[in-house]
Structure 1
């Protein structure tokens, strides 16, 4: 189910970004990637009929996790990028869906997740 949804979103947002990149750039993380010229295959592999679901290793290939932790080190409640149980990037940054504050499942942190 999630794989089919991922394919649908990739196709949909690819089309949207080609038609109106300025509109798409503000919706989801995938749109920001597309607006910067990152192709779907960079994260999902070369086969659009069988896209891979990116894991943290794929994200940190381009996004330095230590730099992200430093960037968010002064958040008032906690640093989500340096948490002792920080999981996969896609727990918060889903790219094809609105971002979520995964930490809020257990904590009362009010992060503005992008």
Structure 2
């Protein structure tokens, strides 16, 4: 039988809820969510992201900037190319749950 989670004091719970909401707010944009989905599969350059996802350069740069500012992605420069990768283990864990719920069985109806 599963062990119940230990009781957490209200202050700790409120701080955790604030952090969780901040992460979810960043992910609650279709372009950013697509970017995180694709980057969860491996590092890509800006050009590769634009080509694979069909997000045009101005929007792509803006959304990558939001992800970078919030610590969800990291960058690496190689010559003229900038490569992006997922930098947040928490975001990667959320992406795994979203994948399981929405992508692994795309024909499955929501349980709502």
Q: Same fold (TM over 0.5)?
A: no
Greater C-alpha radius of gyration: 2
With normalisation by structure 1, the TM-score equals 0.24
Structure number having the greater strand percentage:
2
Structure number having the greater helix percentage:
2
